């Protein structure tokens, strides 16, 4: 069954099951922790064909063509013809984005076909999965002329069982990637970051035994510091399979037995050293079965709210954060290496952050794991952004699938403290139904983390600022994006406004800021200057200190200037959102130091 059809079926089942109080399971199961599996990288230079009219997919009557580019027929073009040729087509790196690969493709939105050939020798008794870290946005995959499957969504991983399609010898992998914006997509066709097209993360073959460990969860039981919950799911849905989970440093070795669904779980007493930004302790964990084994590094921590405060490991914590887009420093394209992840995270550490808001979509797996090792908490978010088609079942199914894939991939990462389900969405009954269902699903799938979303203000008056959102019932943290001094008045307004927030839940300012061009100087009242931006930061932080003592954390917008097609002002924006405290070339603006100094005092 095609993924899109499965998504729709799952969405309907999900809503029905909620009505009866039952739990739900994920869709096509994701192979967890692929980087510690036996894998064969398919990264490299792939041939590509630009196809703006989708000629390779549709015939001249706009019907799907069963003999499309994915067949990659070999002809001599003398006695037999075809109007494309991967062999002589140009190449681009995968992972990567096509926009920064070629000036001709910089603003291209549409279809590009990719082809990679690889030699392979199947191993008897093994299963083979084709795994994509991410591909933006609508991806259709063909192996040796056979359609493997398709995936919608540009920022989460997906995989397909290709055991019966991959062959001994030369294999041809053809991938159709279409990044056209759509009103009924997630995100929708209107968003404030760059629409990088392409196969943007790693592609690999993952070799597994016939029956393998599909996923596992090893973490502290909610509300405790001395009880570990050990869970595993086998690929075979049969009872009586045994799975052993070992944590040698804690002298734990527990053997679990699956039920009829292939699930197994047990609780065990233990008192691990707890992961924290000051001490990001990780333990070696081995999960094994009769046929499979996988290693991981896992940390343990508790996260909870009490009244208006957030507690990590039982101690109140102020979240000193910064928002980050997954865009590389200096070259300003989609990140595709751990070194590029590290650059941004090091900048956040230099600021004095103890957390990063990875906006507005799940970032690559290495980014999350590296942040975990560096002691940075993570806010992880799906791209339910601005105006979504709330009333369409298949749009909800798409958002739900992206939420499921985000949680499934990163459920063992100790540093993730928030699953965020949306950003700046307009209020309506359909929206509330859509988002509350996502919140319920996230809590059902993982009750050990907090739920939030970035809300917009709903003020009591022009100078009494507030929040009034029906979603407050479903989240653990009230998070608000507020832009007094930029979209709402000038900096002087920050001296006058008061806040009245009526919810007895922690409040985080998930965004604030203003744009400044690095090196552009002037008076503190002159917009676009570093001085104006720095003054906006000073006044906002003073407002928090003096009139918002109950704020539990902030993540200003944003670490680095980033590309956005919405930002058109010549000689100022030039296609960049300039709200970064660091320029697109890595230069630190005055606001960087204002924020850094404030964080030192918190």
List pLDDT tens digits, range 257-268. Answer: 999 999 999 999
Question: What single DSSP character describes residue 18?
Answer: H
Q: Does 305-601 match 224-299 at the fold level?
A: no
Which H or E run includes 321?
strand 319-324
Helix orientation angle between 590-601 and 530-547, rounded to the nearest 10 degrees: 20
Omega of the bond prior to 398 within 30 degrees of 0, cis? Answer: no
**End-to-end Cα distance, the chain:** 53
- What pLDDT is recorded for position 22? 28
Q: Where are the beta strands (DSSP E) in 555-594?
A: 562-563, 576-577
- Looking at 3.40.50.1220, 3.40.920.10, 3.20.10.10, 3.20.20.80, the CATH number of the domain 305-601 comes to 3.20.20.80
Which H or E run includes 410?
helix 393-410
Question: What single DSSP character describes residue 92?
Answer: E
Number of H helices, E strands in the chain: 8, 32
**Pairing verdict, β 227-234 and 263-269:** antiparallel
Residue position matching structure tokens 């302790």: 281
* Beta-carbon contacts of residue 386 (< 8 Å; ≥ 6 apart): 187, 188, 190, 191, 423, 424, 425, 426
Q: Provide, for the chain, the percentages of residues in helix, strand and coil under a 3-state DSSP scheme, each rounded to the nearest 5.
A: 20, 30, 45
To the question of domain 224-299 being in CATH 2.60.40.10, the answer is: yes
Spans in the chain with pLDDT lower than 70: 1-28
- What pLDDT is recorded for position 151? 97
Tell which residue, 507, 425, 516, 435, has the closest CA to residue 465. 507
31-208: CATH class: mainly beta
- What pLDDT is recorded for position 10? 46
- What pLDDT is recorded for position 80? 86
Q: For residues 602 and 591, give the distance between their C-alpha atoms in angstroms, rounded to a whole number.
A: 17
- What pLDDT is recorded for position 25? 29
Q: Where are the alpha helices (DSSP H) in 411-504?
A: 429-445
Q: Where are the alpha helices (DSSP H) in 422-529?
A: 429-445
Q: For residues 13 and 366, give the distance between their C-alpha atoms in angstroms, rounded to a whole number.
A: 33
pTM confidence score: 0.94
| Residues 278-336 pLDDT 10s | 999 999 999 999 999 999 999 999 999 999 999 999 999 999 999 999 999 999 999 99
SS3 of 101, please? helix
SS3 of 403, please? helix
CB 14 within 8 A of CB 8: no
CB 592 within 8 A of CB 583: no
Sequence spans of domains, the chain = 31-208, 224-299, 305-601
């Amino acid at each position: 069954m095609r993924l899109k059809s499965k998504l729709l079926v799952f969405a309907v089942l999900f809503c029905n099951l909620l009505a009866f109080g039952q739990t739900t399971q994920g869709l096509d199961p994701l192979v967890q922790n692929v980087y510690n599996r036996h894998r064969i990288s398919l990264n490299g230079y792939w041939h590509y064909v630009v196809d703006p009219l989708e000629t390779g997919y549709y015939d001249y009557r706009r019907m799907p063509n069963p003999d499309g580019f994915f067949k990659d027929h070999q002809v001599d073009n003398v006695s037999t013809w075809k109007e494309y040729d991967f062999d002589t087509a140009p190449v681009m790196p995968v992972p990567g984005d096509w926009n920064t690969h070629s000036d001709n493709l910089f603003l291209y939105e549409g279809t590009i076909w990719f082809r990679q050939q690889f030699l392979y020798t199947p191993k008897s008794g093994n299963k083979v999965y084709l795994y994509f870290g991410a591909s933006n946005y609508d991806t259709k995959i063909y192996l040796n002329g056979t359609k493997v499957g398709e995936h919608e969504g540009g920022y989460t991983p997906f995989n397909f069982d290709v055991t019966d399609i991959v062959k001994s010898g030369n294999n041809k992998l053809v991938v159709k990637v279409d990044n056209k914006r759509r009103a009924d997509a997630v995100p929708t066709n209107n968003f404030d970051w760059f629409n990088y097209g392409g196969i943007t993360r790693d592609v690999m073959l993952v070799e597994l035994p016939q029956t393998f460990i599909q996923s596992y969860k090893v973490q502290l039981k909610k509300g405790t510091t001395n009880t570990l919950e050990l869970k595993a799911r086998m690929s075979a849905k049969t009872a009586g399979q045994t799975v052993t989970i070992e944590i040698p440093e804690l002298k734990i070795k527990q053997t679990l037995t699956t039920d009829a669904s292939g699930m197994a779980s047990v609780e065990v007493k233990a008192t691990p050293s707890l992961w924290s930004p000051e001490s990001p302790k990780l333990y070696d964990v081995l999960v094994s079965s009769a046929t499979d084994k996988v290693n991981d590094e896992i940390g343990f921590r508790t996260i909870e709210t009490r009244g208006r405060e957030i507690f990590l490991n039982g101690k109140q914590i102020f979240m000193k954060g910064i928002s980050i887009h997954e865009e590389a420093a200096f070259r300003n394209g989609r990140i595709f290496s751990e070194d590029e992840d590290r650059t941004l995270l090091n900048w956040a550490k230099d600021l004095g952050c103890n957390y990063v808001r990875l906006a507005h979509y799940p970032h690559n797996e290495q980014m999350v794991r590296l942040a975990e090792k560096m002691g940075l908490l993570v806010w992880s978010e799906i791209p339910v952004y601005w105006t979504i088609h709330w009333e369409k079942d298949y749009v909800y199914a798409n958002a739900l699938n992206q939420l499921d894939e985000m949680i499934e991939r990163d459920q063992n990462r100790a540093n993730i403290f928030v699953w965020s389900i949306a950003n700046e969405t307009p209020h309506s009954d359909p929206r509330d139904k859509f988002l509350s269902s996502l919140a319920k699903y996230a809590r059902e799938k993982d009750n050990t983390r907090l739920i939030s979303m970035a809300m917009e203000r709903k003020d009591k008056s022009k100078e009494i600022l507030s929040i009034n959102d029906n979603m407050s019932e479903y989240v653990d943290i009230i998070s608000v994006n507020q832009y007094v001094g930029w979209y709402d008045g000038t900096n002087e307004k920050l001296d006058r406004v008061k806040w009245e927030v009526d919810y007895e839940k922690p409040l985080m300012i998930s965004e604030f800021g203003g744009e400044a061009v690095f090196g552009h100087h002037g008076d503190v009242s002159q917009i676009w200057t570093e001085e104006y931006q720095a003054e906006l930061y000073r006044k906002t932080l003073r407002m928090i200190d003096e009139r918002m003592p109950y704020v539990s954390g902030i993540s200003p917008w944003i670490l680095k200037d980033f590309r956005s097609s919405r930002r058109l002002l010549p000689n100022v924006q030039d296609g960049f959102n300039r709200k970064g405290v660091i320029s697109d070339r890595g230069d630190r603006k005055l606001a960087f130091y204002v924020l850094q100094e404030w964080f030192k005092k918190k």
